[in-house]
Amino acid sequence: MFYVIPPNGEVPFYILEDCVLTRLNYLRRLHEETTDEFDGKFEYLLENSAYDEIGHFVLRLLACVSSDLWIYWISKESLLFRHRLDNTSPRQLYKLFKQIIWRVQLYKGHGNATETTLIEFCKFYSQPLTFKHLVSNCQNCNEFVYKVKFEIVPDLVKERELVLNNGYVITPCSTWKKVLQSLFCTYLINELNLMKKQAQYTVKRDLRLQFLSEKVQSYLFKEGTVHGRITIGNIDAESERFPPCMRHLHSVLKSRHRLSHYARLYYSLFLKEIGMKLEDSIAFWRQEYSKPHTCASVCSHNWQANEKKFVYSIRHMYGLEGSRRNYRTPGCDQICAGISGTTYEGGCPFKDFDVNTLRNLLHASLTEDETEKLLNNVAIKSPEMLCTGFLKLVRKDNADNAAVNSPVQFYQRIIG
């Protein structure tokens, strides 16, 4: 479950590929809470099996050469780890603690802070008295307390649910699953950083791994695999996590109930690509375009008079009419190129908006100091780098240095 030692032996490439794609499919289902719809090969996901380890370690290797896969995969793999923890028997849990101690001590010689903490954590909770309490009735209690250095569990610090004291996060026994899940994430990130340079060389010189890497990228980011679950019921709340360009379009639509042609097109494609189903998309645009508007110079259409045209247009964007192409959201370069016209509400906020409009947009997510620091860089940094800086401030995370190059990528990193 913790994946310390890679598997040995040989495996046909078609099985290796199947292990990877099956795992990705299940991770996506787990994230979307639709595992009951999973129809892949469960034998590739059996805990501690060779197939399970192959799927994990090959994806770990491929994640080293793709920042998008890195962010996507770590969050989903962590979700799988927690799912397994929640369904582990006391006997399996005790065995897991002992395996982590043995494997980390045996296989990892450098003993960094994360590995040392892992060993100490497992030793602490595998003590007879502590373990008995852990698996009996440990709920919302702090009978046993374990301290972890704050830099090892950054996601727990970010949540601000636990007490910080002299550089340590104080974790009561009732939060042991959260702590172990956080240690799992930190361990994975450390391993990826250690592997990164060698992994890039390994993948580049092996045509089979290049082929598999391209196939994984296509599966995740090019063939309509969604990155969220956007519905007509949660879109207003979810819009707070949209990139500034799309958040602005959502705000304009909600206030005016209309968007100009290209703004509506770009926003529709964005919603499709981040997970809004066709039925919800039709219901969402029907809801807005059925309301009175105050922007006749932008769009005077209404749903009642133009329903067939609207439905056809939406179905066309979903690849169900016309040429049946899988249309995608424009990237940052296309958005920054801009579309001329005084009535166009879109564009890149970091390139096209005046200072006051941009300040108001950023201030919805950032503090005054953070907003001003970002605004001071508008004249000297590219829009992509500014948007990346905004993303890091929102996430409270500086782990990834790759620039944002599309609205979908921004959202995927936020939820990842």
Tell me the three state secondary structure of residue 63.
helix
Could you count the other beta carbons within 10 Å of the beta carbon of residue 342?
6
Tell me the three state secondary structure of residue 166.
coil
Q: Would you say 289 and 258 are in contact if contact means Cβ atoms under 8 Å apart?
A: yes
pLDDT tens, per residue, the chain with 416 residues: 888 888 888 889 889 999 999 999 899 888 888 888 888 888 899 988 999 999 999 998 988 887 667 777 888 899 999 999 888 888 999 999 998 888 888 876 566 888 888 889 899 988 998 888 888 877 778 888 888 888 888 878 777 777 888 888 888 888 888 889 888 988 888 888 888 878 878 888 888 888 888 888 777 755 444 545 788 888 998 999 899 999 999 999 998 888 888 889 999 999 998 888 888 888 899 998 988 876 655 566 778 888 888 888 888 888 777 777 778 888 888 888 876 666 678 888 888 888 888 888 988 888 888 888 888 888 788 888 888 888 888 887 665 556 788 898 888 888 76
Nearest Cα to 279, choosing from 236, 315, 316? 315
Element (H, E) at 316: helix 303-317
> What does the DSSP 8-state code read for residue 236?
H
Nearest Cα to 244, choosing from 87, 400, 131, 393? 393
Tell me the three state secondary structure of residue 169.
strand
Q: Which residues contact 306 (CB under 8 A, 6 or more apart)?
A: none
Distance of CA 344 to CAs 3, 39, 240, 266, Å?
Answer: 51, 45, 22, 12
Q: Would you say 220 and 68 are in contact if contact means Cβ atoms under 8 Å apart?
A: yes
The tokens 């995969």 sit on which residue? 73
Could you count the other beta carbons within 10 Å of the beta carbon of residue 63?
25
Q: Which residues contact 42 (CB under 8 A, 6 or more apart)?
A: none
Q: Would you say 157 and 186 are in contact if contact means Cβ atoms under 8 Å apart?
A: no
How many C-alpha atoms does 280 have within 13 Å on its Cβ side?
15
